[in-house]
A and B are shown apart, each in its own frame.
Chain A
Amino acid sequence: MNQVWPIFKREFAAYFATPLAYVFIVIFLFAMGAFTFYIGHFYENGVADLSVFFAYHPWLYLFLVPAISMRLWAEERRTGTMELLLTLARAALGDGAGQISRRLGVHRRGAGAHLPDLDHGELSRPSRQWRDPGELYRQLPDGGRLSRHRLCISATTNNQVIAFVVSVVVCFLFTISGAPLVLDFFRGWAPLALVNAVASFSFLTHFTAISRA
């Protein structure tokens, strides 16, 4: 952890030194507000749970998280700080963990900013679930696994655009692997165990189960 903390501080401060982090937070808040209250008809449903709020998170992360993470290693290479980082007496695991923690920190700030939205409104007496801070952190495993994909793919290429596109494609494949369209393709020729294995690797399946909990 001693190795991770300085890298986290440096990268986290770099995000907020430019408008990049603020732009992403504002986009995230506007998009989640629109998805939850307008497209998801949160108030019209009359149900005091956050299932509508969480339902759109994986799809929003599919584009927002690659956009943040595509520059992680690629930027280090472009600016020439990669050599500086890797010649210091640290393990590569510490670098990776520091980069991830920084990105999760930005992500968590965006998620926490939703709290005032949920404290007032038509449902003036929120249930215990609304006040539960765990609600906000249940999405973190989802953001965490997304950022690992992006971090890994960012390390494979110098080009940020390629990193972004490949990240989106990989995560999209993981997301829809549990969809009937994909499973029907496998059912024709694959054994049932393989079909079940493919279905169990879907992000949506696991994310829905965790958000329901």
Chain B
Amino acid sequence: VIDLRDLIFFFSLIALFLTANVVIVDLKTGLSGCHEPLSRRFYALAAIALAAVIFVALNIAADATFTTERAST
């Protein structure tokens, strides 16, 4: 039996760093469409921070949800 929390952790971590990778490559090559360097950096940092927050929240929620279900059964 594979715990769903572990799968959520690994796949969300993969998604987080893949997102960060895409954002960084866009930032370095200027594909994002925004021409101001400062704005590009700000939006890139904001995107990575948002992805990190989603990653943390998803894992905490999954941990709480599935741990409760397991304890109640």
Q: Mark A182-213, 1 if CB is under 8 A from B, else 0.
A: 00000000000100110011000010011001
For residue A149, CB closer than 8 A to chain B, the reply is: yes
Interface range, B side: 20 to 34
Task: Say yes or no: is A81 at the interface (Cβ < 8 Å to chain B).
Answer: no
Q: Does B2 contact A (CB under 8 A)?
A: yes
- B63 near A152: Cβ-Cβ < 8 Å: no
Is the CB–CB distance between B17 and A145 below 8 Å? yes
Pairwise interchain contact B25-A210, C-beta atoms closer than 8 A: no
Task: Assess the B17–A148 pair: CB atoms within 8 A.
Answer: yes
Which residues of B43-73 have CB atoms within 8 Å of chain A's CB atoms? 56, 59-60, 63
Within 8 A of B (CB), among A113-161: 141-142, 144-145, 148-149, 151-152, 155-156
Interface size class of A (residues with CB under 8 A): 20 to 34
Most buried by A among B11, B16, B21: B21
Interface pairs (8), CB distance under 8 Å: A141-B11, A144-B10, A144-B14, A152-B17, A155-B24, A197-B56, A200-B9, A201-B59
Q: Which B residues are CB-close (under 8 A) to A86?
A: 25, 29, 31
Checking A95, A148, A209, A213 against B13 with a beta-carbon cut-off of 8 angstroms, the contacting residue is A148
Known contacts A86-B25, A209-B2, then 10 further A-B pairs from the complex at CB < 8 Å, ordered by chain A residue? A141-B10, A141-B11, A142-B10, A144-B14, A145-B10, A148-B16, A149-B17, A151-B17, A151-B18, A196-B63
Known contacts A86-B29, A155-B28, A201-B59: A206-B10 contact under CB 8 Å = yes
A164: chain B residues at CB < 8 Å are: none
> Are A96 and B25 also in contact (CB < 8 A) when A141-B7, A200-B59 are?
yes
Is A93 interfacial (CB 8 A cutoff)? yes
Distance of A213 Cα from B18 Cα, bound (Å): 27
- A100 contacts across to B, CB distance below 8 A: 18
Which residues of A sit under 8 angstroms from B25, Cβ to Cβ?
73, 86, 92, 95-96, 155
Contact string, B27-51, partner A, CB cutoff 8 A, digits 1/0? Answer: 0110100000000000000000000
Smallest Cβ-Cβ distance to A76: which chain B residue: B25
A166 within 8 A of B: no
Bound-state CA distance A149–B10 (Å) is: 12
Query: Assuming the A-B contacts A152-B20, A155-B21, A206-B6, are A145 and B14 also in contact, with contact meaning beta carbons closer than 8 angstroms in the complex?
Result: yes
Interface assignment of A97: CB less than 8 Å from any CB of chain B: yes
Shortest Cβ distance from B1 into A: residue: A213
CB atoms of B18 and A93 under 8 A apart? yes
Q: Please report the C-alpha to C-alpha distance between residue A201 and residue B6 in the assembled complex, in whole angstroms.
A: 10
CB distance from B14 to the nearest CB of A (A): 5
CB distance from B20 to the nearest CB of A (A): 5
